[in-house]
Amino acid sequence: MPSKSAATLGRYLTGSVQQLIVLPMKLSFRLLALSIVLGSFVVGCAPAGHEKSGIAPTDPGAAASAHLPEYQGPATRPFAMGFTRWPADLTPEGVAAAQKFADVHGDILAVMFIGGIPWPQALEGKPFPKDVQETLADRPSRENKLFLSISPLDRDRKGLAPYWGEKENEPLPKPWDKEPLNSPRVKKAFLNFVLHSVKAMRPDYLAIGVESNVLLSRDSSKWRQLKELHRETYSAVKKMNPKLPVFFTTEVLHYKRLARDAKQSEQEKEVAELMRHSDLFAMSLYPYMSLETPRPLPENFLDFARRFKKPIAVSESGMTSRDVPLKSYGVTLLGSEAEQRNFTESLLKTAARDKYEFVINFASTDSDRLVSRLRPPLDDLARIWAFTGMQTGAGRPKPALPVWDGFLKAKYVRQ
């Protein structure tokens, strides 16, 4: 694969990938970093057979969805709808397919910086590394709204974000590897990077924390440090950008203590306290990632979001359209096309009822072709959300897509 294409793909992969949550099973999911994807785990640049990755080559829903009925959505909707730039495949064509689908089927795009911060340069006001500069220059079209997320935490939501140098997820240089989240150096560097990113990307919405409450489940002392960092960053950003909605995002399964390591955490109390310094209540929602999630999903599952008396948004979401066997871990995450359709309809109806600001479905297109290029156990990790797109990797619309498009066709009226 040409190096130029690899560099471009790397920005999409590492810029859009999200941290998977530890569920009621002992799994530790890791970020798909470009250095790994293009290194020893890649099967090859030529498409690999689906048999090698444990994915069936057939499309079980192809016949059933050949003629999907049109969905009659509402006349108006109060929320924007969109996707991230997660690619369908590790090729220019895979990137283009997902991007085109997101452009056609959405009016907001989510860009996520969760692979690190250029800490030394941000602190000292020096030019950022080349990869950072190229990513900041790659702003999507102004035709759609832009939601930008920047995380000060690492990929496991356990501590300070890694170093973003010539590539993302590099080890923290000394003395940054010993800095607490609320140190003056971290506060200054993070704020400088956030302000620089806002100036370069000109987002319509800004998250300065991604699934922040997961840290509460894992380290209460560091959570207190993060709250201090968030409060001061929020105040400073709002002072310079008073009209920009600024907030953090909350992982729903941890908030509801459906994740094992969240059982003893005071999620409701602590999140409510931090919400005093947030313009929105933004949720990350992947119900199938916990075996403790009630099935079918209750109609009132998201009613708790109203208690904060703030505008509501879905920062990322997804439901797998088929069972996902994780051979490396001996477990299977459950899903079907019917479940994905029902989840999509329920989520969008709730968003309309409660007048959400926006709803993001993480993947526009299934990434099973990308998964087929990876060696075990990384293929299992990527497979977890390989089937959460609104269309298959072959471009077949799933039953959830007419529901999505039915709402998208509604006139966008922010009330």
Domains of the chain: 3-412 (3.20.20.80)
CA 392 to CA 55: how far, in whole Å? 13
Of 297, 412, 298, which is closest to residue 356 (Cα–Cα)?
412
Going residue by residue through the chain, which has 415 residues, state the pLDDT in tens, using 9 for 90 and above: 333 333 333 333 333 333 332 222 222 222 343 333 333 333 333 333 332 333 333 454 444 445 799 999 999 999 999 999 999 998 999 989 888 999 999 999 999 999 999 999 999 999 999 999 999 999 887 789 999 999 999 989 999 999 999 999 999 999 999 999 999 999 999 999 999 999 999 999 999 999 999 999 999 999 999 999 999 999 999 999 999 999 999 999 999 999 989 999 999 999 999 999 999 999 999 999 999 999 999 999 999 999 999 999 999 999 999 999 988 878 899 999 999 999 999 999 999 999 999 999 999 999 999 999 988 888 888 898 899 999 999 999 999 999 999 999 999 998 7
The per-residue pLDDT for 385 is 85
Q: State how far the Cα of 20 lies from the Cα of 31, in Å rounded to an integer.
A: 8
Q: Is the peptide bond before 242 cis (omega within 30 degrees of 0)?
A: no
**Over the range 388-408, which residues count as b (16 or more CB within 10 Å of their CB) and which as e?**
bbbbbbeeebbbbbbbbbbbb
On the question of a cis peptide bond just before residue 296, with omega within 30 degrees of 0, the verdict is yes
Q: Which helix (H) or strand (E) holds 282?
A: strand 281-285
> Residue 14 has what pLDDT?
31
Cis status, amide bond into 377, omega within 30 of 0: yes
**Alpha-carbon span 99 to 144, nearest angstrom:** 13
| Token duo for residue 238 | 């709002």
Output the pTM of the full model. Answer: 0.86
pLDDT at position 389, please? 97
Neighbours of 275 (CB within 10 A): 18
Helices (H), 117-219: 119-124, 130-137, 184-201, 213-218
What is the model's pLDDT at position 370? 92
